[in-house]
């Protein structure tokens, strides 16, 4: 039987919880009854009256188990840009866990569609791939806008899944935006899935992904560019920087054939054993605010490229930013980047900078959690801004500039978390 059934015949959670039968709900949930699991998750999503009590009971169950030394479920966040093959990789990982007799729950956070029958149908289709194995449970959840709200809802669903005996809970999200940062706060391990062929488009997102990743999967590794992508990740991790703590391993996978998938599962389990997530939590506690890049004006990117490549750095592809009349190329450097800027017109901002001051340091860019909120705050506080609105740059990142008069004599660029909505 498929582990996803209609709610017909169920008497409604509210009444059950209020009455003496809340114990019965918990009993059936803890016995692993997937109908009850489905019903309780719906109730969490809908915020049904009385559900908070039930979630609290679930959390108590999980804590009790932990108190007697039973390890609670491992929460694995899996994220990456659309097209990287996340769902296929997750399905393959689920097969590895099922092969080890572990029960798995998958929560797919879908920001594009509200929770509807359509999502339910998708869940059914995915579960059918497992031939009705009740040890696998898929569930889509609508993203709830506010990131705190989403993290809360996902945390609740994880607790319900754990109380229902799921040993692995996978949380699937898209990209590296607010939702992913929120989910990363809930997960024990975060796997970032990338694939070659999308390199330059996700370049600006990668910085945000570096922050949340405990494990990288370079999927579609049988395609051209996998090696280059792995190299870019390693470069961004700042190889040679030594550094204490967990360094996210990079695993090449071909999810469609299963190649490398067991290695991803192994990396996830090693991260749990070695407490690797602590390194990520520290990184993220740095506020989500971080040095994103340093902008350097050059007369010729081609000439500067030679110099920096001779230094052993990788210089990314040149991108034309038409609205600024500038060409830009990024150089990954540790957790941050250098941004080489070359004017395409003499009467542009960068063109005038070169004419007046020659080559040189131009700006520093700080990444913040909520670029719109910062823009509104600074404007309200009378901070002198160069930009009259939050702009969208190449790769979809959002930014604005603060005048040196307000930033201690430095032109300051404020950029949002990549992919943030």
- Using CB under 5 A, list all residues that contact Co ion: 295, 339, 365, 413
Residue 413 CB, nearest distance to Co ion (Å)? 5
What's the rounded Cα separation, in Å, for the pair 285 and 214? 15
Residue 50 CB, nearest distance to Co ion (Å)? 51
Residue among 247 and 349 whose Cβ is closer to Co ion: 349
The 3-state DSSP class for residue 219 equals coil
Residue among 295 and 316 whose Cβ is closer to Co ion: 295
The 3-state DSSP class for residue 21 equals coil
Residue 318 CB, nearest distance to Co ion (Å)? 14
CA 326 to chain centre: 30
Residue 129 CB, nearest distance to Co ion (Å)? 44
What's the rounded Cα separation, in Å, for the pair 317 and 332? 12
Instruction: Please name the residue that has the structure tokens 């996998």.
Output: 226
Q: Give the count of beta carbons closer than 10 Å to the beta carbon of residue 316.
A: 18
Residue among 123 and 413 whose Cβ is closer to Co ion: 413
Residue 181 CB, nearest distance to Co ion (Å)? 21
Which strands sit side by side in the sheet containing 290-297, from one edge to the other?
A: 319-321, 326-333, 336-343, 290-297, 360-368, 412-416, 398-402, 391-392
Residue 74 CB, nearest distance to Co ion (Å)? 38
Residue among 35 and 391 whose Cβ is closer to Co ion: 391
First-to-final CA distance of the chain: 39
331: buried, middle or exposed (CB in 10 Å: 19+, 13-18, 0-12)? buried
Residue among 155 and 295 whose Cβ is closer to Co ion: 295
Residue among 52 and 361 whose Cβ is closer to Co ion: 361
Residue among 156 and 211 whose Cβ is closer to Co ion: 211
Residue among 87 and 387 whose Cβ is closer to Co ion: 387
Residue 102 CB, nearest distance to Co ion (Å)? 45
What's the rounded Cα separation, in Å, for the pair 299 and 358? 8
Residue 228 CB, nearest distance to Co ion (Å)? 24
CB 221 within 8 A of CB 193: no
What's the rounded Cα separation, in Å, for the pair 93 and 250? 16
Residue 365 CB, nearest distance to Co ion (Å)? 5
At residue 180, φ and ψ (nearest 5 deg) are: -70, -40
Residue among 295 and 416 whose Cβ is closer to Co ion: 295
At residue 272, φ and ψ (nearest 5 deg) are: -65, -50
Using Cβ positions, the residue closest to Co ion within the complex turns out to be 295
CB 83 within 8 A of CB 223: no
Helix, strand, coil percentages, rounded to 5, for the chain: 40, 20, 35
């Amino acid at each position: 039987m498929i582990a996803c059934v209609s709610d017909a015949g169920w008497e409604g959670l509210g009444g059950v919880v209020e009455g003496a039968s809340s114990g019965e709900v918990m009993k059936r949930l803890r016995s692993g009854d997937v109908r009850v699991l489905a019903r309780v998750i719906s109730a969490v999503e809908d915020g049904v009256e009385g559900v908070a009590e039930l979630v609290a009971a679930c959390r108590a169950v999980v804590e009790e188990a932990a108190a007697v030394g039973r390890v609670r479920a491992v929460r694995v966040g899996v994220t990456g840009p659309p097209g990287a093959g996340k769902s296929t990789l997750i399905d393959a990982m689920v097969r590895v866990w099922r092969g080890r007799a572990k029960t798995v729950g998958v929560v797919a956070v879908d920001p594009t569609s509200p929770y509807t029958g359509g999502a339910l149908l998708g869940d059914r289709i995915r579960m059918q791939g497992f031939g009705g194995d009740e040890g696998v449970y898929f569930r889509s959840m609508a993203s709830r806008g506010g990131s705190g709200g989403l993290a809360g809802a996902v945390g609740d669903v994880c607790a319900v899944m754990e109380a229902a005996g799921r040993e692995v809970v996978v949380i699937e999200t898209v990209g590296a935006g607010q939702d992913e940062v929120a989910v990363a706060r809930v997960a024990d391990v975060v796997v970032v899935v990338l694939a070659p062929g999308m390199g330059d488009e996700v370049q600006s997102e990668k910085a945000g992904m570096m922050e949340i990743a405990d494990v990288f999967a370079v999927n579609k590794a049988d395609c051209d560019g996998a090696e280059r992508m792995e190299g870019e990740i390693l470069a961004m991790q700042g190889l040679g920087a030594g550094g204490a703590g967990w360094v996210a391993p990079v695993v090449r996978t071909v999810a469609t054939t299963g190649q490398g998938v067991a290695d991803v599962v192994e990396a996830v389990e090693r991260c749990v054993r070695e407490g690797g997530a602590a390194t990520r939590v520290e990184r993220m506690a740095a506020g989500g605010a971080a040095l994103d890049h340093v902008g350097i004006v050059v007369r010729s990117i081609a000439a500067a490229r030679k110099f920096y490549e001779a230094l052993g750095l990788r210089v990314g592809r040149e991108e034309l930013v038409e609205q600024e009349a500038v060409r830009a190329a990024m150089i990954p450097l540790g957790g941050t980047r250098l941004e080489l800027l070359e004017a395409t017109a003499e009467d542009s901002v960068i063109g005038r900078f070169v004419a007046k001051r020659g080559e040189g340091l131009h700006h520093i860019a700080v990444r913040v959690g909520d670029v719109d909120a910062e823009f509104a705050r600074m404007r309200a506080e009378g901070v002198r801004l160069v930009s009259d609105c939050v702009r969208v740059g190449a790769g979809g990142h959002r930014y604005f500039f603060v005048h040196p008069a307000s930033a201690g004599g430095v032109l300051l660029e404020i950029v949002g978390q990549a992919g943030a909505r």
